[in-house]
Amino acid sequence: MQEFDYTNLTEEEVQELNTYQYNSDLNLENAIERVKEINNEIERLEELGKQKIQQIKDTVDAKVSKLSKKKEWDMFNLASVIDNDTTIKATKTQKKKEFLSGTVVRKFASEKMIKPELTEEVIVEKFNDYKKEKTVVELDWAELKKTLEIKNGKVFNKYGELVEVVKVESVPAKTEIK
C-alpha cells in the first residue's frame, strides 16, 4: 500500500486527517462533502488572489502613470530649454548640452527611408548595381541609400526618378538623458 505524503501539513492537520473514517457509505458521503467544500475554498482563494493581484497591478499602473506624466513634464521642459538655447551648437541631427547629472540630447524630427523587402528579380531588374551576391541576391541597402534623397515625403534616385518601392517614415523629435 502507498504511503500518504503529509508535506506542508501541521501536526494538528495530520491528526485531524487521521480521525477521518472511510468504512461506511455515510463516512464516504462526508468525505465527498469535504472534497466539495475544499474545492469551493480553493476556488474562492484563487479568485481572491486574482482580485488582489489586479488591485496591486491597478495601484502600480496608477503610480507609474503619475510618475510618467511627471517625467513627461520634465522632458518637455528640458526639450524646450535646449530648443530655445541659442548658445548651444547644433549638428545636422541634434543639439546637446552637458550637465553634472547627465547630458540632454535633443534629436531633431527627421525622415528616414525604410528598407524595402524585395524579391531577387526586382533587385536584379531595378537595383542591379546595388545587389550583394551571396547564395541569395539581396539589396545593398547601405549603398543604395547613399544615392537616394527624400523630397516632399517621396524618395528619388540620383537621376531624379521617383523610387516607389522605398517608403518614407517620419521620425518625431526625441529628447534623451544619457
Same domain, yes or no, for 68 and 102?
no
pLDDT at 76 over 80: yes
Same domain, yes or no, for 63 and 110?
no
List pLDDT tens digits, range 128-171: 999 887 777 888 999 999 999 999 999 999 999 999 999 999 98
Q: Is residue 89 part of a domain?
A: no
User: Domain total for the chain?
Assistant: 2
Average pLDDT taken over every residue of the chain = 91
Q: Is residue 1 part of a domain?
A: no
Q: Is residue 71 part of a domain?
A: yes
Compute the average pLDDT of residues 111-136: 88
Same domain, yes or no, for 72 and 139?
no
Q: What is the pTM of this model?
A: 0.53
Tell how strand 131-133 and strand 174-177 pair up: unpaired
Residue that terminates a domain, selected from 54, 84, 114: 84
pLDDT at 44 over 80: yes
Same domain, yes or no, for 116 and 58?
no
Same domain, yes or no, for 80 and 115?
no
Same domain, yes or no, for 115 and 170?
yes
Q: 166 with 111: CB under 8 angstroms?
A: no
Domain of residue 169, residue span:
94-177
Looking at residue 94, its pLDDT comes to 95
